[in-house]
Structure 1
Amino acid sequence: MRLKDKVVLITGGASGIGLSTVERCLAEGARVALADMADSQGQARAAELDQRYAGRCAFIPVDVSSTEQVDRMVADTVQRFGRLDGVFNNAGIGGLSPAQDYTDEDFLRILDINLMGVFRVARASIKVMYAQGSGSVVNCASILGVFGQSNTAAYTAAKGGVVNMTRTLALEGAAKGVRVNSIGPGYIDTPLLSLLDAATKQFLIGLHPIGRLGRPEEVANAALFLLSDEASFITGANLLVDGGFTAGKS
């Protein structure tokens, strides 16, 4: 098993990419802290998985816009499982608006969760990992961290920040035994996209040369790889899981 006896913390773990990654890590032998908002389905999901995987999954409520809650989440994970080997820093929100229509408050909220939230989780986690002398942090960025798109000024600013912050954290952690990488998913077929009309969904499919949307488990597989010792010589990378979206236009 690729993560046997390792402890992994996954934020945004109650649904979509996060939940798929929780399930993949459990299947590969990890003990997993599933973290999400208190009013999410996280408690129920973790209870179900804890029964299936013999007491190896626990729910920890967190709002990543709160430094206090993030620090407590990491402390609770270590208290429950004894250490922290991996983090999938996945919590985030979307947002669409023409730049001229953004209020300061709306723009800053997206930055606070999608960029500062990622930093808060990484900061708390690497403190533990530095003390251990080992660990792997995987930050969830996006194709929109390397590629512009209309009506996404706040989101692209945040995700671009995640990609470059990841490089800096990787440089700082390298001598301390801690690897830091990011993942850039394309459009993934999660429940969120089920709200789109058929024409919009078909348009998004057409943006991917592979000819379909991604599946949550495909992003989970990439996160699993970067969390595992198989990626022991990889740090500061941004792994695009995008069906060819950013390769260019044919």
Structure 2
Amino acid sequence: MELDGRIAVVTGAASGMGLAAVKALAGAGATVYGMDLRQEDLDREFAGLERVRGHAADVSDSAAVNRVFDRVREDHGRLHVLVNAAGVATPNRAKQAWVDGINHRMTESFKSGEPYHPEFLDGISDEDFDRVVAINLNGTFYTIRAAVPLLKQSGSGSIINFASVAGLIGLPMPAYYPASKAAVVGLTKAVAAELAPFGIRVNALAPAGIRTAMLTASGDDHVQALLSLQPLKRLAEPDEIGRTVLFLASDAAGHYTGQTLAPSGGALML
């Protein structure tokens, strides 16, 4: 699966699955523009990588997103691949700690056999909900909108959006995350239908347990809760997801569009 001469943009590029996607695409010969919040993180992670350029931008800021794509237009005048890997599970660290505490109590209740019914709704502010949606959904829309003129210039292309298995099955968790990820699936289908006449394919990935810093920072309770949903009792490695991104970006996936692939260890079986 060679991508020699192709141009790609990856969001959430400085860590986890986004970084794995950058490495997979660049390893196949693509020139990759990686976006993340902090330039120092991009510079550190991209050191030694060929054909990879880092640009700090918040995907929830449409003007910042447009500036990165303006740079791609100035440098190349075209684009072949867009990977939307930027995303958050909670709006901030304080809320992550709140969620982790509830997950811990759920795990302990399972072990003891005592009933425990988590309640999240009353703890979600307007600002919490808006912030997660702004990154996970709005940011995906902003990058797609900015990328499409460049993809059309190429005459074909591939967009890969990161959803989540949480957006496809019912799980007790703060509603902003599954709501935003389910919306990414709907966005993927609508855009796939619109862009098919231009040879641009649009697909989504809906992972479950992936060994990323965002997941493992939540503690072993959260990891074990995820694994309890999966017939395959292990976390996937980010580079496994990177190889799936490479497949969807390549000509080998030429007849895939509007699809949601779930590398979920069997948590979702269609």
Fold shared by both chains (TM-score > 0.5): yes
Q: How much has 1:124 moved relative to structure 2?
A: 0.6
Distance in 2 between residues matched to 1:178 and 1:185, nearest whole Å: 23
Map Cα deviations across residues 125-150 of structure 1 (whole Å, 9 max, x no partner).
Answer: 11221233211110011101211211
Taking a change above 3 Å as real, the CA distance of residues 174 and 200 of structure 1, as seen in their structure-2 partners, is closer
Q: How much has 1:202 moved relative to structure 2?
A: 2.6
Give 1:47's aligned residue: 47
Distance in 2 between residues matched to 1:193 and 1:90, nearest whole Å: 15
List aligned pairs for 1:174-189, cutoff 5 A: 174-189=196-211
Give 1:219's aligned residue: 241
Distance in 2 between residues matched to 1:196 and 1:128, nearest whole Å: 38
Give 1:134's aligned residue: 156
Q: How much has 1:82 moved relative to structure 2?
A: 4.0
Asked if structure 2 preserves the Cα contact closer than 8 Å seen for 1:31 and 1:81, the reply is no
Distance in 2 between residues matched to 1:81 and 1:43, nearest whole Å: 22
Percent of residue pairs identical: 35
List aligned pairs for 1:62-211, cutoff 5 A: 62-95=57-90, 98-211=120-233
Give TM-score, length-normalised by structure 2: 0.85
- Alignment coverage as a number of residue pairs: 243
Q: How much has 1:40 moved relative to structure 2?
A: 5.2
Distance in 1 between residues matched to 2:256 and 2:201, nearest whole Å: 7
For structure 1, the 5+ residue unaligned runs are none
Comparing 133-142 with 165-174, greater Cα deviation is found at 133-142
Q: How much has 1:157 moved relative to structure 2?
A: 0.8
Report the 3-state secondary structure (helix = DSSP H, G, I; strand = E; otherwise coil) of the residue aligned with 2:197: helix
Q: Which has the higher relative contact order, 1 or 2, with Cα contacts under 8 A spaced 6 or more apart?
A: 2
Q: Point out the structure with max Rg over C-alpha.
A: 2
Distance in 2 between residues matched to 1:18 and 1:198, nearest whole Å: 23
Report the 3-state secondary structure (helix = DSSP H, G, I; strand = E; otherwise coil) of the residue aligned with 1:203: helix
Give TM-score, length-normalised by structure 1: 0.92
Q: How much has 1:83 moved relative to structure 2?
A: 2.1
Give 1:247's aligned residue: 269
Q: How much has 1:39 moved relative to structure 2?
A: 4.9
Q: How much has 1:191 moved relative to structure 2?
A: 1.7
Q: How much has 1:234 moved relative to structure 2?
A: 0.9
Report the 3-state secondary structure (helix = DSSP H, G, I; strand = E; otherwise coil) of the residue aligned with 1:151: coil
**Alignment pair present for 1:57 and 2:79:** no
Give 1:23's aligned residue: 23
Poorly superposed stretches of 4+, deviation over 4 Å = none
Distance in 2 between residues matched to 1:91 and 1:171, nearest whole Å: 23
Asked if structure 2 preserves the Cα contact closer than 8 Å seen for 1:93 and 1:114, the reply is yes
Asked if structure 2 preserves the Cα contact closer than 8 Å seen for 1:99 and 1:151, the reply is no
Distance in 2 between residues matched to 1:62 and 1:192, nearest whole Å: 19
Comparing 131-140 with 223-232, greater Cα deviation is found at 131-140
List aligned pairs for 1:30-41, cutoff 5 A: 30-39=30-39, 41=41
Q: How much has 1:44 moved relative to structure 2?
A: 2.1
Report the 3-state secondary structure (helix = DSSP H, G, I; strand = E; otherwise coil) of the residue aligned with 1:58: strand
